[in-house]
């Protein structure tokens, strides 16, 4: 973690890894998954609100995208479309969201989704909106597939469908160590390549995914190979040639990459 100066009230926006990620269907132009998400409690961004000049919603941090493409901004827009509380817009005019980034981008660690989810939880708490977990998930699911998981704050969960079905998994979550090479993976491109070249056995994945969803994360990692556990690993290797050089034996691939992880 980098050193920083922050206000008293801050929020930790944690990373996640996919212990396994199986693609089990394709519907309405989107892939359906079964996956085990676990939080990485040693890797997180720090977020807080600061006074703003009152000219409009603003996000401050090391982002390489315009405001309109930022997941926090998308979460704000989704929130205001869901609930028409004038105090939300007024608060966001007079307060900016500050994010101290530690989670790498384009890394399969869910940094953007985690930030969006934490923003929704932050403003729900700050303004005492009393939005239920179900309502927050309903708002967050249209922002990003990983957002509902982060909204729940579960340490481990089985995630299904398009990411909107999140079932807490009771286990002793292993300590995770991550490694992110200097390779940016294009999630859309990797899913497209999976669909084109690797999806022949997609309909047969469901039974295996269901079996994995009942196993402890550590047991899964001990029993199966990285290639077997993540359906996007091979497409990512084919899509990003530098990833082949960066991978490490015995390390597992998270999401659509480019991060690898192991247990400590």
For 100-151, write each residue's pLDDT tens digit.
999 998 899 999 999 999 999 999 999 999 999 999 999 999 999 999 999 9
Q: How confident is the model at residue 65 (pLDDT cuts 50, 70, 90)?
A: confident
Residue with tokens 């079932």: 167
In DSSP terms, which residues pair with 167 in a beta bridge?
158
Q: Where are the domains of the chain?
A: 11-263
Give the number of other CB atoms < 10 A from CB of residue 34: 22
Q: Which residues are catalytic?
A: 16, 146
With H, G, I as helix, E, B as strand and everything else as coil, classify residue 167: strand
Instruction: Kindly state the average pLDDT of the residues 23-49.
Output: 92
Which helix (H) or strand (E) segment is 50 a member of? strand 30-51
Cβ atoms of 2 and 99 within 8 Å: the answer is no
With H, G, I as helix, E, B as strand and everything else as coil, classify residue 22: strand
Cβ atoms of 121 and 151 within 8 Å: the answer is yes
Flag whether pLDDT at 250 surpasses 60: yes
> pTM of the prediction?
0.92
Residue-wise pLDDT tens digits, 150-161: 999 999 999 999
CATH architecture type of domain 11-263: 2-Layer Sandwich (3.30)
């Amino acid at each position: 973690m980098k050193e920083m100066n922050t206000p008293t009230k801050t929020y930790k926006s944690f990373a996640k890894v996919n212990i396994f990620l199986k693609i089990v269907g394709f519907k309405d132009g989107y892939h359906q998954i079964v996956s085990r998400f676990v939080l990485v409690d040693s890797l997180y961004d720090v977020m807080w609100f600061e006074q703003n000049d009152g000219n409009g919603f603003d996000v401050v941090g090391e982002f390489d995208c315009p405001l309109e493409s930022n997941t926090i901004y998308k979460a704000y827009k989704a929130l205001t479309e869901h609930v028409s509380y004038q105090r939300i817009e007024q608060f966001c005019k007079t307060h900016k969201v500050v994010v101290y980034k530690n989670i790498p981008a384009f890394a399969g660690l869910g940094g953007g989704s985690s930030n969006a989810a934490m923003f929704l939880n932050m403003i729900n708490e700050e303004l005492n909106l009393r939005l239920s977990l179900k309502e927050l998930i309903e708002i967050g699911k249209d922002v990003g597939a990983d957002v509902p998981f982060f909204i729940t704050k579960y340490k481990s969960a089985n995630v299904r469908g398009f990411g909107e079905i999140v079932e807490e998994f009771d286990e002793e979550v292993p300590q995770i160590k991550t490694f992110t090479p200097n390779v940016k993976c294009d999630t859309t491109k990797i899913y497209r390549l999976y669909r084109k070249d690797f999806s022949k056995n997609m309909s047969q994945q469901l039974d295996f995914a269901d079996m994995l969803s009942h196993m402890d994360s550590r047991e899964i990692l001990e029993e199966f190979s990285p290639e077997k556990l993540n359906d996007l690993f091979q497409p990512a290797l084919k899509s990003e040639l530098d990833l082949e050089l960066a991978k490490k034996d015995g390390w597992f691939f998270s999401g659509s990459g480019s991060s690898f992880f192991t247990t400590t």
